[in-house]
A and B are shown apart, each in its own frame.
Chain A
Amino acid sequence: MGLDINRLTPRAGNGGTGAATENDRLNRGQKLRFAAFVLILLVAVPILLGRSPYFITVLTNAAILSFISLGVWVTFSIGRMNLAQGAFALVGGYAGAILSTRYGVPFWFCLPLAGLISAVLGALIGWPVLRLKGVYFAMTTLSLTEAIRLLALNGGDLTKGATGIVNIPRPGAIDIFGLTIVHDFNGADPLPFYFLACALLLLGLVGVWRLSTSRLGWVFRSLRQNEDLATSIGINVAKYRVIAFAVCCFMGGIGGAFFAAFHQNIYPATYTISDSVNFMLYCFLGGLSYIFGPVVGAFLLVVAFELLQAVQDYQALIYGILMIACMLWLPNGILSLGLRHDGKGKDGRR
């Protein structure tokens, strides 16, 4: 379309609300923080907690939940509140499960295929649905979560209805020229899954960061600010919002397929409306303006609730209270707290 969005979008206009409005380079502090996160994830945790399958499982869950929520964050970045991520995780989970149990496709192909199927379905549904804005979009996506669950329930032989698909094979080994690069995941040790989850999460983070600092990211932000204005400077609004939605569904699908292989089962009730709400809650709790928001939110909530066994029965209730409290007293998320101290935003310009 021949227009440089970087130049046309007034940077100052983004104020503090702009996500990742930083220059395309990370500053030193951010690099350090990211490196620390990677080190903790890949070195410290396996060494300290590697003996405890329980904690590794919890952290695996947290990592993939963050990955799925990152997708929701992308739709937040075009100014849509997406309550359909549970639906696309379900689609991805079923796609992975059907491909591997029915057609014997190895897990390593199932994973991207499941993401792709989810993304294509998301693009098809998203095309009409993304015409809606605000509450209308939220209502429709909420209904979509329920619709996909019903679809899975009535899928006949393909989805096996309420009994779900069980005995999904675990990821096999990757051999290249007789050389085993990745062992198969069949042992009782959850560490391989943990490393896979971390790898996915880091890839997702880098991918979304690249996306939101690229020209595409600027287009997305321009959509959030004013779609009419974006149209008037020649942005094909319909195309870009479908792209954002498809990215979101892709991540949801991959996460769903991962969980299907991890738990070795999937049912229509695996992802319900409350999961869709939770994905959104993670984003929002961490802070919608920060790519790291969903990660912080998901890890904090998932790990905190595993540690506080006593209150687990009231987990969902506390989620509700937390959400309201956070909305009223901390509307920009947890990350906005830390960044206030050094007097500048994550972008270093505020």
Chain B
Amino acid sequence: MEQMLVNGVVLAVNYALIALGITLIFSIMNILNFAHGQMFMIGGFVVYYLYGLFKVNYFLSLIAVVLVLGGIGWCFETFFFRRMRKMATREENSMLLAVGTALLLENLALSIFGEKQRGVPPVVSGVFRFGTAYLPAGRLLVMVLAIVLIVGLLLFVQYTKLGRAMRALAQDREVTHLMGVNVDRVAAFGFALGAALAGVAGGLLVTVFGVNSGVGNVYSIKAFIMIMIGGAGVVPGAILGAIVLGFAEAIGYELLPGSITYLLIFTGLIIFLLLRPQGLLGKPWG
């Protein structure tokens, strides 16, 4: 029982990073980042190569992840989505483009990294014990780092000028433009930040679960589930969704055989959406 709780917390905080990243991109640009899971996967691989193979310091590797994924996100926004926004005639177009970027990243990774499951040596050793539950120090580290990042992100978005510009952009693009905000630059930064969050989550969880080039879609789906539970585009909703999914997974893996957990989660999700299509904290629409 306690073990389930501990596992649930570790999963929930990392999932919160993923959900916050996709929420950031969704609320600022109204683009659903289908490639979010693939960005997570690439983050994992960057850590695998730098920390696992070339023995670079783990924290430096994480900074490299931020730079690489931030770069990818910035490029996607600057070269693809910005152009799309200026000429789009149909609502589906940006979605299709996002699916295309996911396809691109996934197969690029498959060609470059291969299909093997990769793991990295533990960053710290030792195990903590809480009652009957065990918490390896590696997982504790991952958890603490994730919490620090989440708090940092929330403070950043709330109190800095750039964060305020991003929130303004999420509210009303045109008015933000009128207030003298360089909308394109803020949007590119937001996309880069969201991508970096996905990558960091990958870099953190690679120490626990390892990574392979096929996990992208799995994590994209997890991200979708979380924002559907919490309500798309709502920050507290993303965190709530992450908590629900993290604990559901931890409990399910403890009590049920393998893939039945996700079958139940999907079934539950569809029933939930029947009752509350806008999610727990989302605003009613449509």
Q: A128-B274, A324-B97, A328-B83 are in contact. List 14 more A-B contacts (CB 8 A).
A: A128-B273, A131-B273, A131-B277, A136-B277, A138-B95, A146-B266, A147-B262, A147-B267, A150-B260, A288-B90, A323-B96, A323-B99, A324-B101, A328-B97
Interface string of B248-275 (1 = CB under 8 A from A): 0000000000011011001101110110
Nearest CB of chain B from residue A85's CB, rounded to whole Å: 14
A-B CB contacts (within 8 Å), total count: 132
Whether the Cβ atoms of A154 and B32 lie closer than 8 Å is no
Whether the Cβ atoms of A319 and B103 lie closer than 8 Å is yes
* Residues in chain B near residue A153, CB distance under 8 A: 259
Whether the Cβ atoms of A320 and B107 lie closer than 8 Å is yes
Is A58 among interface residues, defined by CB-CB distance under 8 A? no
* Residues in chain B near residue A321, CB distance under 8 A: 104
**In the complex, what residue of chain B is closest to A277 when comparing beta carbons?**
B99
Is A284 among interface residues, defined by CB-CB distance under 8 A? yes
Is A214 among interface residues, defined by CB-CB distance under 8 A? no
Whether the Cβ atoms of A133 and B286 lie closer than 8 Å is yes
* Residues in chain A near residue B270, CB distance under 8 A: 125, 128-129, 140, 144, 147
Q: Give the interface centre of B100, B220, B228 by most chain A CB atoms within 10 Å.
A: B100
**In the complex, what residue of chain A is closest to B108 when comparing beta carbons?**
A317
Q: How far is A125 from B270 in the complex, measured between Cα atoms in Å?
A: 8
26 A/B residue pairs, CB under 8 Å, sorted by A = A17-B90, A131-B277, A131-B286, A132-B277, A135-B95, A138-B32, A139-B32, A139-B227, A146-B266, A150-B260, A150-B262, A153-B259, A154-B263, A227-B286, A280-B99, A288-B90, A313-B111, A316-B110, A317-B108, A319-B107, A320-B103, A320-B108, A323-B103, A323-B104, A327-B96, A328-B80
Q: Contacts A142-B224, A147-B262 given: A317-B96 contact, CB under 8 Å?
A: no
* Residues in chain A near residue B32, CB distance under 8 A: 135, 138-139
Q: How far is A147 from B267 in the complex, measured between Cα atoms in Å?
A: 8
Is B14 among interface residues, defined by CB-CB distance under 8 A? no
Binding site for A on B (CB under 8 A): 26, 32, 80, 83-84, 87-93, 95-97, 99-108, 110-111, 217, 220-221, 224-225, 227-228, 232, 259-260, 262-263, 266-267, 269-271, 273-274, 277, 285-286
Is A114 among interface residues, defined by CB-CB distance under 8 A? no
Chain A residues touching B, range: 35 or more
Is A134 among interface residues, defined by CB-CB distance under 8 A? yes
Q: Contacts A128-B273, A132-B277, A150-B259 given: A324-B100 contact, CB under 8 Å?
A: yes
* Residues in chain A near residue B88, CB distance under 8 A: 331
* Residues in chain B near residue A331, CB distance under 8 A: 87-90, 93
* Residues in chain B near residue A65, CB distance under 8 A: none
Nearest CB of chain B from residue A90's CB, rounded to whole Å: 14
Is A264 among interface residues, defined by CB-CB distance under 8 A? no
Whether the Cβ atoms of B232 and A143 lie closer than 8 Å is no
